[in-house]
Structure 1
């Protein structure tokens, strides 16, 4: 099986392609790869010549170079697109964090006003108003709780790490072009 991996890696051919190239049946190639049979002399000579040529090739062909360059360019474009997407998500999350922080600050301020209304005699119908303010503030704080805020902050940190990774990959990809 080790031969199969190395021959397949060296040649990059399927069993059918290798057998056709060497002029033998696929079963013969399979048996050779598994170590159960030897190849016919003509096939062995063709394989040896092919392996020798593959090992002598120092530079890749123009076709493989063009394909690799096109892949690098496509990778760069995709990384750029992903980077922009992450930036947009990061901006949206930052906006959500600011919104929650503002609402929480407003609710805590409203709770302070409700506490002042309860203890101050200058305002008529203060208890009903204080209870209404308190109920609204507590309800809003339940919706925009500290866990939701922390979750968004963690998401922002994850997006920042992803953004940094994408920046690094784009630099590496640019260097390979």
Structure 2
């Protein structure tokens, strides 16, 4: 089986293609690969010539080079698109974090105002207002709690590390 994987890997051809190239039946190739049969002399010679060529050739055909270059360009373009998407997500995440921090700051300030109003002499007349301020501030703080803020910050950190990895990949594989 190791021989099969090696020949398949070296040639990059299916059993049918290899058999056709060597001028034999697929069954003959299959039997050769499994070690149950030898190849005819002409097929053995043809296989030796092809394998020797593959070993000696360090340069790729123009088609292979063109395909590789095209793939590199496409990969680079995709990486750049991903990079831009990550930047946009990061910007949106930063805005969400800033908005949430501002909301939380306002709510804590509102709670301080409610506490101050409660200490005033006219607190009985404003008790409904104080209660309303407290309820609104605490409900808003429940919605925009510390965990939600931390989760957004973690997502932003993840995006930042992804952005760094994308930058590294783009520098590793510059399009030629």
TM-score by length of 1: 0.95
How many residue pairs match? The answer is 176
State whether structure 2 residue 106 is matched by structure 1 residue 106. Answer: yes
Aligned to 2:128: 128
| Mean Cα deviation higher: 36-45 or 161-170 | 36-45
Displacement of 1:123 in angstroms is 5.4
Aligned to 2:158: 158
Displacement of 1:116 in angstroms is 1.1
Q: Which runs of 5+ in 1 are unaligned?
A: none
C-alpha distance after superposition, 1:64-106 (max 9, x if no partner): 1111111111111111111000000000000000010000000
| Mean Cα deviation higher: 17-26 or 161-170 | 17-26
Displacement of 1:146 in angstroms is 0.8
Displacement of 1:37 in angstroms is 2.2
Secondary structure at the counterpart of residue 173 of structure 2? helix
State whether structure 2 residue 64 is matched by structure 1 residue 56. Answer: no
Displacement of 1:58 in angstroms is 2.0
Displacement of 1:34 in angstroms is 2.1
| Mean Cα deviation higher: 72-81 or 36-45 | 36-45
Aligned to 1:89: 89
Displacement of 1:157 in angstroms is 0.4
C-alpha distance after superposition, 1:24-62 (max 9, x if no partner): 111221222222222222211111111111112121111
Q: Which runs of 5+ in 2 are unaligned?
A: none
Aligned to 1:19: 19
Tell me the C-alpha RMSD between the 2 structures: 1.3
TM-score by length of 2: 0.95
